[in-house]
Amino acid sequence: MADSNLSPDPRLRQPAHHSRQEVVSALTDFYEFLVTLPHIDSFAIDHAPHGGWPEITKESLAKRDIHKPDETVELLRHLPYIRGEVGERFNWIAPECFACDWRLVSRPDLRELQPPPPALSWLHCNSRGRWEWPEWVVQLTAGRDREEWVLLLDMTDGTVTRYYAMYYVYEPTYPEGDPRSWRDRCCDETLPIRELLDRWRQKYIDMEWLGIPNEKLSAIRTGWISYDKDDKGDDSDGEDDDPQPKEKWADDTTDLVRIYKVHGWPHDFKRDQCRRALLEWKRAQPDYVRNIDYD
């Protein structure tokens, strides 16, 4: 699918190439890391069977007025998926960001709902007349905040670019008519998918992102703020047993950081014990509302 006549991508350090196997591998590796965290159920990851997900076909997509090229359909049929986005319970993979589960196109009970549930608005936005991106672009994530946390995969080169639903204010990167110029309506950063997911993984390792389980709605806390210059400590190689970002924790995040550390994060992490401790902490918060028994 890549156009060999295009100039080097100004957003990339080196040329990138699309491979279905690499996209599947990168997502699988990241999802398997996520289930070691306390806010995602260990059984929530589904891997494609041999031959791909049978419920994802051109016909099942067409019933939702979604029309994708064969290569895109084959990718969707072979991706791993994370369950839990239909109701109000999400398995967040980044702050306010969940992975799109394309198997939902075959759920007749969801197809008849008008308007679609808020959690499925991303699926509606992929229908003909509403999809505003080239046919070789695939939506991998969505969100519930006003910016909608949309991560778009370009199947010409295997890169991903984040789209902000509210606005874009960046100077164009690509000349008019360049098939990559759709990215100029998104954020000004484009990365190979594995590089982006490795960056996300590191945010968890450094505790810039802290997963918090709950009875109904899990969360990812981003509770750090910049150091004042005079307060900045010595961050050495970032490989020690007590990871710290180059910021300091916000006051209401200190307890979460302590709970993670007490339970061995990151090198000797006792996930289940940490999960229970985080639930106990959550239940003690003034704004806590019990929904269902989630232990």
Q: So what's the pLDDT on residue 285?
A: 80
- The pLDDT tens digits for 98-156 are 999 999 998 876 666 566 666 678 888 999 989 999 999 999 999 877 667 899 999 99
Query: What value does the CA radius of gyration of the chain take, rounded to a whole number of Å?
Result: 20
The gap between the terminal CA atoms of the chain, to the nearest Å, is: 47
Give the CA distances from residue 100 to residues 26, 35, 82, 90, 239, in Å, rounded to whole numbers and listed in that order. Answer: 15, 17, 8, 11, 33
Q: How many CA atoms lie within 13 A of 41 on its CB side?
A: 17
- The pLDDT tens digits for 53-83 are 999 999 999 998 999 999 999 999 999 999 8
- In this predicted structure, the answer to whether residue 250 has a pLDDT above a threshold of 70 is no
Q: Which residue has the tokens 């599947």?
A: 24
Predicted TM-score of the model (pTM): 0.85
Q: So what's the pLDDT on residue 33?
A: 97
Which of 112-116, 172-176, 240-244 is predicted with the least confidence, judged by mean pLDDT? 240-244
**Residue 2: pLDDT band by 50, 70, 90 thresholds?**
low
**Residue 226: pLDDT band by 50, 70, 90 thresholds?**
very low
> For the residues 168-188, what does the mean pLDDT come to?
90
| Mean of all residue pLDDT scores within the chain | 83
Q: So what's the pLDDT on residue 137?
A: 96
Q: So what's the pLDDT on residue 241?
A: 52
- The pLDDT tens digits for 191-220 are 999 999 999 999 999 999 999 987 665 678
Q: What percent of the chain has pLDDT over 70?
A: 76
> For the residues 40-46, what does the mean pLDDT come to?
88
Among candidates 81, 71, 84, 189, which has minimal Cα distance to 136?
71
Contact 229, 206 (CB under 8 A): no
Q: What percent of the chain has pLDDT over 90?
A: 56
Q: So what's the pLDDT on residue 292?
A: 40
Q: Which residue has the tokens 């159920």?
A: 41
- In this predicted structure, the answer to whether residue 89 has a pLDDT above a threshold of 90 is no
